[in-house]
Structure 1
Amino acid sequence: MHSMPKPPAQMPAFDTWNAALAYAANAIGARGFPDALAAALRLIAPFQMMNGFIYSPNGHAFDLYNEKIVAERAIIVDRYLAGAFLLDPFYDAVRKDQAERMIVMRDIAPDDFTQTEYYRLHYGTTEIIDEVGFVMQLENEFTAVLSLSRTGTAPLFSDQDIERLRAASPIVCVLGERHWRHVPSLSLEIKNAAPAARIEHPLLTRRELEIVTLILKGHSNISLAAVLDLSTNTVKVHRRQIYAKLNISSQAELFRVFMA
């Protein structure tokens, strides 16, 4: 059981914050940089976990920083990199806009995101209850997201937490980019990577695959209709046809068909 963090009553003293940032900046390029950056960020908003992933322009995902993850690595890292990242709201967000910034999971997730199998397996199993991410630009048009997560019985990030972290995001992104911009052996890893993960099936039409993707990401029928400019009834018909073609009857089965 995770202990509940006590949010700071006020921003850290200016000299304390500057010292923490200087320590992190001095650690750029060294193994201790992520811990130094996390220590600085905890001065303004406590969190239990920091981890991150890299996304290539051709649809691959790679490990950025997951050194502190041990027991849940198969869930948080291996399954994610194998293809579950396609359902991640952060991945969707950076595909649409690679600008350096901070993004908040609950602001960008689809309306039924917490009802998805992806959420149940990834967030439910790891006990992540809230997450923010810093978008960083690496070389060769690669984009990275460094995430801070609240877990277990911790409270959600407060509006004040979000405001403080967002204000700090420019320096966080710059420091992170300096440290991770030239990720060792990434070019070779990309060259030898398996084909990019995709949601596809020979029995389904392009429109049906589009609907499947949105369902798996957590869009309700109403949200699907709005995104695709269709009527809700039309979406329901498509959904019934998809389930019939695949001989399934639930979203859990749909998830297994495409994310097994």
Structure 2
Amino acid sequence: MDILFHEVSSHSALARVIEQTGSPRFWRQLTLLLRHWVQFDNALAIHFPALGAPHVLDEYDASPAPVASALYLDGLYLLDPFYQAAHEGLASGFYHLEEVAPDQFRQTDYFLNYFHDHVLEDEVQFLLQVPDGVVSLSLGMRRAFDATERGKLTLVSQWVLALVAQSWGQVSVSVPLKPPVGDALAKFGEGLLSDRELEIARLILRGYSSKAMAQRLGISPETIKAHRRHLYAKLNISSQPELFSRFIQQLGFQEETSG
């Protein structure tokens, strides 16, 4: 009997999602529907336009703390592994953090000082490539998603993405697009770092090990380490946390780096 009532409730929630297709309330109804099957802790629906800074479509949090922050929207998203994967052409689909994150992502200052406080411990995303950028629905959890939970979300992902595509096609973005942040790393390294050093600085911040960077760039780990030493010397820093601090400062958030 409990199963019957649960199924009725889920079908009613699905009906509300379909009714709200194309409206601003679509995202909240979709989030509430997904929580019938997986009790994730927060959700963030966001649009990353091809040109311009991202903007939030909807936020949900089971606790009072906000999901997004000005720091993320004003440039920290450039270190988001899901954003970077989508920007590099990752196909529309449902993905787990471990599928897209660099090998040392959980050791980065981005993970330790932002992700762990806002997204929490683990994340999955429904990603949809659209003509004007990427639309994503992120689900965060205070613990790791288990195999059963990931399986349930994978099972429904095809119709979730189909509904997202249909809803997005019916609505135009009404929020004025802010100008793109650009590459904050390029700004503080402009005229100082070589193109290769700048590329390696980006990968360090995103959480790539020397071995992973070497494989990605087709050069030896020893060459990577030499470039790392040179770029640290040019920036007068000695560690990845200092590099992250310089990145944050370039975004205009000097006060927030002390926490």
TM-score (ref. length: structure 1) = 0.83
CA distance in 2, matches of 1:127, 1:31: 23
Contact residue 37 and residue 152 of structure 2 kept, 8 A:
yes
Of residues 114, 119, 127 in structure 1, which corresponds to 2:111? 119
Of residues 159, 172, 195 in structure 1, which corresponds to 2:147? 159
Contact residue 135 and residue 143 of structure 1 kept, 8 A:
yes
Give the letter for the 1:204 counterpart.
L
Of residues 21, 35, 39 in structure 2, which corresponds to 1:42? 35
User: What is the deviation of 1:17?
Assistant: 3.4
User: What is the deviation of 1:57?
Assistant: 1.8
Gaps of 5+ in 2: 250-259
Give the letter for the 2:122 counterpart.
D
Indicate whether 1:258 and 2:247 are aligned.
yes
User: What is the deviation of 1:32?
Assistant: 3.7
Gaps of 5+ in 1: 1-9
Indicate whether 1:55 and 2:45 are aligned.
no
RMSD: 2.5
Indicate whether 1:194 and 2:173 are aligned.
no
Give the letter for the 1:197 counterpart.
G
Structure-2 residue corresponding to 1:3: none
Of residues 212, 234, 241 in structure 1, which corresponds to 2:223? 234
Q: Secondary structure at the match of 1:164?
A: helix
Structure-1 residue corresponding to 2:26: 33
Would you say how many aligned residue pairs link Structure 1 and Structure 2?
242
CA distance in 1, matches of 2:46, 2:65: 18
User: What is the deviation of 1:39?
Assistant: 2.2
- Equivalent residues in 2 for 1:1-260, closer than 5 Å: 15-58=8-51, 60-66=53-59, 71-72=65-66, 76-97=68-89, 99-126=91-118, 128-138=120-130, 140-151=131-142, 155-181=143-169, 182-186=171-175, 189-190=176-177, 193-198=178-183, 199-200=185-186, 201-202=189-190, 203-260=192-249
CA distance in 2, matches of 1:196, 1:82: 7
Structure-2 residue corresponding to 1:4: none
Q: Secondary structure at the match of 1:99?
A: coil
Identity across aligned pairs (percent)? 33
CA distance in 1, matches of 2:129, 2:136: 9
TM-score (ref. length: structure 2) = 0.83
Give the letter for the 2:244 counterpart.
F
Give the letter for the 2:217 counterpart.
L
CA distance in 2, matches of 1:216, 1:11: 49
Q: Secondary structure at the match of 2:39?
A: coil
CA distance in 2, matches of 1:72, 1:23: 25
